[in-house]
Amino acid sequence: MAPPFRADQIGSLLRPKELLDARASLSSPSQLYDIATDEKIKQAEQKAIDWAVQKQLELSIRPICSGEYGRHIFYGGFFETLEGMTPKPELPIPDAFRTDFPTTTGLAKMGAKTRAAVVCTGPIRWKQSAYLEEWEMLRKTVPEGQWKECKITIPAPNYQHIQLKPGTAFTTASGYGSDEAYFKDLGKAYAAEIKALYDEGVRNIQVDDPNLTYFCSSQFLNGCKADGTNTDALLDMYLEAHNYFLRKRPGKDLSMGMHLCRGNMSGSTHWVSGSYEQIAEKLFTNTDYETFYLEFDDSERQGGFEPLRFLPKGKNVVLGLVSTKKADLEDVDELKRKIEQAAEVVARGQGVSKEEALDCLALSPQCGFSSSSLAGGKDMTIELMWSKLGLVRDTAHEVWD
């Protein structure tokens, strides 16, 4: 199965200054779940999305994304809109979180004493779409015939659960007595959100699950061991949480992909390192996703292509070879060489020719350009961002056209 696009992108874009200025009136960026309601801010968001969409149309960059301009951070906007989910803006580090959880230990080194999260305090119910407004703002500038060329990103269902201290993702008052019950109702909410977007024309959804790469990190695995957590069972539960809503996909023409990375916070910060080797087989074979967006821009951070040998026929990988962390523009020939290397690994694993293996690959940046509104790669600029996306486009044309 070929990927939706040979040249892809991960979703977030650097915010223009005018948008940052407009959103500066919101409370501190540490309050990750701020949702703008002020009309002037909404107008600034729409103007910025219009600009970004028009630029993507002009440069033939696909899929067309909103840049996540209506969110402070990539996972914002979903959990806090669900009935039964309560934002907790200042949970103490480290007490409220898993032992040695990479994100919170990294933040602690930067001086953070608290971190925001969303805790389940009642039965989880989907009330209204979290991202329909973003989709409506995106499609406003796109001719209806090209809506299928757009993509919406949403956070993974396990995002809150994986970071919180075991047993605290839901309270006693929530009515849930097990993780499985919590994820079942959360899965129903995801299915409702996806159907609402689908009914309004969305045909490409990317689920961002960077924390799955923590299962490749000895720090995370050792912390779980200290907490008495079985990481194999935990990973299985998270993959099933994805599969729950994937099985309820509203249409066969809806592309669903999962993005994994190791973080792209301000100044090119990442939280973990480690090869996909420890999770690749389960990831590829035990989930109902057909597309996987994987970062491969730095072998020291995520290892080589060998885990791709587990990719089964009928699924595809978008190779994140162009870095959003480094300002240097990659060499086209080097990118093509790496794509060939990846294809050789897939070919050996599937027992097919390299040409056949190449057909299930695509190219993208390794991450979004701005995981949060104030974050971005070191020395990355808006001009360089468009150059990087253009490089992805041009390289993909050379390889697959």
CA distance 230 to 162: 13
3-state secondary structure of 66: coil
Q: Which CATH number is 17-74+143-160+202-400 given? A: 3.20.20.210
CA distance 312 to 176: 36
Instruction: Please give the model's pTM, rounded to 2 decimal places.
Output: 0.95
Cα dist. 85→123, 127, 218, 284, 309 in Å?
Answer: 8, 12, 31, 30, 39
Question: Which pLDDT belongs to residue 272?
Answer: 75
- Dihedral (Cα; 12, 15, 19, 20), 10-degree rounding: 110
Mode of pairing for the β-strands spanning 114-125 and 83-92: antiparallel
Amino acid at 329: L
All structural domains of the chain with their residue ranges: 17-74+143-160+202-400
**Mean pLDDT for each consecutive 10-residue tract of the chain (401 residues)?**
94 93 69 70 94 97 96 91 94 96 90 93 97 96 95 98 97 96 98 98 97 93 96 98 98 96 64 86 97 87 87 97 93 97 97 97 95 80 96 98 89
CA distance 272 to 344: 27
Peptide bond into 94 cis (omega under 30): yes
